[in-house]
Amino acid sequence: MTVDLNSGSDSDTRAIGRRLSGLLRAGDVVVLCGTLGAGKTAFVGGIADGLGIDEYVTSPSFVLMKKYTSGFIPLVHVDVYRVGSLGEFEDLDVYEESLSSVLVVEWGDAVAASLPGDHLKILIEITGETDRRVQLVPNGNWTKRPLEEMSE
């Protein structure tokens, strides 16, 4: 079941991410898609907040991968925007790195071929100056997870 939500502000998007964090457990993979400035990093910031992480999440564009360990579950944030090739992404060994963490991948479409089948895809679409359509699309075992809680 795809969950379709509307966000009217940066803080709305963070609140959706924060709410999603309640469903997340170690080993989960969340893939974020959406154009430049859609709010992918803001969404990850909400997840981090919900996981009890006290650091501010910024785009790891220059380091590609950043791990936050101050919360209940470690969060591994990867931004593949600047990753040149699938091989370069695979060399990061993100899955190895994140077996006991929640892994979030920004611009996941670029590396779709090496993502695990079990993942939650988040599509953020710009629909107005501060309006966003946020779709949660379950893949693999995510189809059995209680995503409907997100629209209550």
Binding site for ligand ATP (CB under 6 A): 7, 9-10, 12-13, 34, 36-42, 59, 106, 130, 132
Instruction: Report what 135 binds from Mg ion, ligand ATP, none; CB cut-off 5-8 Å by kind.
Output: none
- What pairs with residue 122 in β-bridges? 32, 136
CB of 49 to ligand ATP, least distance (A): 13
Q: For residues 91 and 54, give the distance between their C-alpha atoms in angstroms, rounded to a whole number.
A: 29
> 71 is written with which tokens?
């919360």
Selected range binding Mg ion among 24-32, 35-43, 90-98, 113-121, rule: CB under 5 A: 35-43
Rg (CA), the chain: 14
- Residue 59 binding Mg ion, by CB under 5 A: yes
- Residue 132 binding Mg ion, by CB under 5 A: no
Choose between 15 and 23: whose C-beta lies nearer to ligand ATP: 15
- Residue 21 binding Mg ion, by CB under 5 A: no
CB of 141 to Mg ion, least distance (A): 26
Choose between 14 and 40: whose C-beta lies nearer to Mg ion: 40
Helix axes 40-50, 10-21, angle to 10 degrees: 40
Do residues 18 and 46 lie in contact, with contact meaning Cβ atoms separated by under 8 Å? yes
Q: For residues 150 and 84, give the distance between their C-alpha atoms in angstroms, rounded to a whole number.
A: 34
- Residue 13 binding Mg ion, by CB under 5 A: no
